Homo-oligomer: A and B are copies of this chain.
């Protein structure tokens, strides 16, 4: 596992455990929290920790497969840019067995591919 992956998993362990010291220790002083879908950014560890502390509701978090690879790509489609978030599951031989794509705007499936998909 890469160091960055290990750090990402430690982040979620600390969040789930409400271990503020462990969480703080993972962040730079001027960490930026970014929510592309709302355009919001939160700057600095202090505000970010406060944001998490004040987050409404009861929540828990579970991480998916430990060895999943992911990419954040930018698609340019007919001149318009949009992000795509893709997760890859590999078989033991290293081939891609599952591709999961998130396009962070929901949409109804366009017609014309019913012959290829199931829902």
Give 8 nearest A-B pairs by CB, closest first. Answer: A70-B70, A4-B69, A8-B69, A64-B72, A40-B117, A38-B109, A34-B100, A28-B95
Q: Which of A43-100 contact B (CB under 8 A)?
A: 43, 47-48, 50-51, 54, 56-64, 67-79, 83-88, 90-91, 94-100
Contact A105 B102 (CB under 8 A): no
User: When A11-B88, A27-B95 are in contact, do A106 and B37 touch as well, CB less than 8 Å?
Assistant: yes
CB distance from A62 to the nearest CB of B (A): 5
Report if A104 contacts B (CB, 8 A).
yes
Residues in B neighbouring A62, C-beta threshold 8 A:
73-74, 76
Q: Number of A residues contacting the other chain (C-beta, 8 Å)? A: 85
Contact A88 B4 (CB under 8 A): yes
CB distance from A105 to the nearest CB of B (A): 6
Chain B, Cβ-Cβ closest to A50:
B116
CB distance from A109 to the nearest CB of B (A): 4
Chain B, Cβ-Cβ closest to A27:
B96
Residues in B neighbouring A106, C-beta threshold 8 A:
37-38, 104-106
> CA–CA, A3 to B2, complex, Å?
10
